[in-house]
Structure 1
């Protein structure tokens, strides 16, 4: 059966190739950083918790050392039409594959259908680039490495922050927050629970920089015990709308560096927080809408 290991293999192969290219360029810090990332994808489930923790600390040490350098400059771009069409192959395959793979439980792990479809779309897009643009898959990896060089250490922030959310959940932060929220919400108030859940998702995301990190905490604090168990809400829309509320917080925080700070740097904006300021007018009304939608769905 094709499972999450397939996705890890694709991601690990990309970072391993980046490490080899960095070694050829004698960019030692980049080589070690990408090599450790490849190791985490290839062998993270076999090296144990302690070794994974040491690996993460090593990644942080390399990222903060200031020794990671930019590499080769961009090559001439392909014509915009074919390039855009080929780029759209990835989301198209991810969407279609999600529905298709869920109907093939004997072949594909249905729980990981979306990630497997996404990885399949990436491989298919690389193959089509080779056939249509006459560009080898290695050139696609080189382009990806150039983007990694521009983003730098912020590329791994979502992965690390999502892990932080899991640590907070295991440490019982959700239960503590739930106790405080339960004292503040009027008994039987679905609207109060919806506000606490939606606003809490946004605020925790602002602090932690990632909605995936905030979700385990707020789901354990409000989403599951109040909106689902006490008020009978459907877990699927409660979870989905909660994540959307968290993404509103993503639009408002410099902690989401790969979304808000890196684009400002790449665009050479004078205002480092210009992207965030432009997103406020979208984030706040959208957060209000998500809270009201959550209230309507649960009540």
Structure 2
């Protein structure tokens, strides 16, 4: 039976490999960072079980590990990691052509298939997938299958995937954790009542009976929280719980599906404009070794602003028309 923690263990092993490679190159801060992170991923399930059993020590140690990651991040420096010669990479790209997209396209396809049909799969009467998110399990399986397909296409050794993964991790550095941490922060904000506090602030600052004012507060709030958190998925529960649900849906009768879809897209406008969205905006600059780390953001601004205005107009027009 496949469970989510099996893939966390695999990810922990890859992180441990990245730490070992850095240790051999005497990059001690990088080695310690990936090593601590590998321990957190590998021991996460054990920490959860111990906490549920009333033993607080493992969770406290995990908290110390998170603090250690923050301290180690200040010591990490982006350095050029050797890769295949340019002539070899160009020759490989010309040989493979559009087949290069096959592994990338397999990931969403296999993920959707697992989500749709994985719950019905069984071996000897036992479910193939255990408790946990089928989406996460499907994404993990899809990633592994896509890696195998990519290795078969380039006729590479199995260790090639781990070596390239390590090179990508070191190119990103601590920023590789930002999406994970910021998404978690959104859940913490929602659980701690930040949404209700925002609703109270919005109601005191704007006329809540004016539909246009509330739409602007919701849309611009999605952008602002996304800029702060770097992740529209983290901003969505906060702004929807605080403004979207009580003021737009319940008070003004907005269509939940339309409001949610356009609201999320509005949050993505903030993604285009913030360095906190490291996987979208900092990683490409790091991989391309651009002199300006914010070059991607500067290029996206002319798209983000008009798209934001169009989304606000569509939200006001469509969410109340059906």
**Superposed pair shares fold, TM > 0.5:** yes
Establish whether residue 84 from structure 1 lines up as the match of residue 101 from structure 2.
yes
2:13 corresponds in structure 1 to 13
Contact 1:10 1:119 in 2 (8 A): no
How has the CA–CA distance of structure 1 residues 86 and 204 changed in structure 2, closer, same or farther, with 3 Å as cutoff? closer
- Aligned partners of 2:265 and 2:199: how far apart in 1? 20
TM-score (norm 2): 0.79
Answer with 1 or 2: which has the greater Rg: 2
Aligned-pair distance for 1:203? Answer: 0.8
Establish whether residue 129 from structure 1 lines up as the match of residue 116 from structure 2.
no
TM-score (norm 1): 0.84
Aligned-pair distance for 1:228? Answer: 3.7
The alignment partner of 1:15 has SS state of helix
Aligned-pair distance for 1:235? Answer: 4.7
Contact 2:194 2:238 in 1 (8 A): yes
How has the CA–CA distance of structure 1 residues 263 and 126 changed in structure 2, closer, same or farther, with 3 Å as cutoff? closer
Q: 1:275 aligns with which of 277, 286, 296?
A: 296
1:54 corresponds in structure 2 to 64
How has the CA–CA distance of structure 1 residues 30 and 158 changed in structure 2, closer, same or farther, with 3 Å as cutoff? same
Aligned-pair distance for 1:24? Answer: 4.2
Give unmatched runs, 5+ long, in structure 2.
48-57
- Aligned partners of 2:21 and 2:177: how far apart in 1? 19
Q: Number of paired residues? A: 299
Aligned-pair distance for 1:250? Answer: 1.1
1:43 corresponds in structure 2 to 43
- Aligned partners of 2:270 and 2:28: how far apart in 1? 36
How has the CA–CA distance of structure 1 residues 259 and 171 changed in structure 2, closer, same or farther, with 3 Å as cutoff? same
How has the CA–CA distance of structure 1 residues 215 and 71 changed in structure 2, closer, same or farther, with 3 Å as cutoff? same
Answer with 152-161 or 79-88: which moved more: 79-88
Establish whether residue 163 from structure 1 lines up as the match of residue 192 from structure 2.
no
Answer with 270-279 or 192-201: which moved more: 270-279
Answer with 31-40 or 44-53: which moved more: 44-53
1:1-299 paired onto structure 2 within 5 Å:
2-47=2-47, 48-66=58-76, 71-74=81-84, 76-77=88-89, 78=92, 79-81=95-97, 82-101=99-118, 107-108=128-129, 112-233=133-254, 235-295=256-316, 296-299=318-321
Aligned-pair distance for 1:240? Answer: 3.8
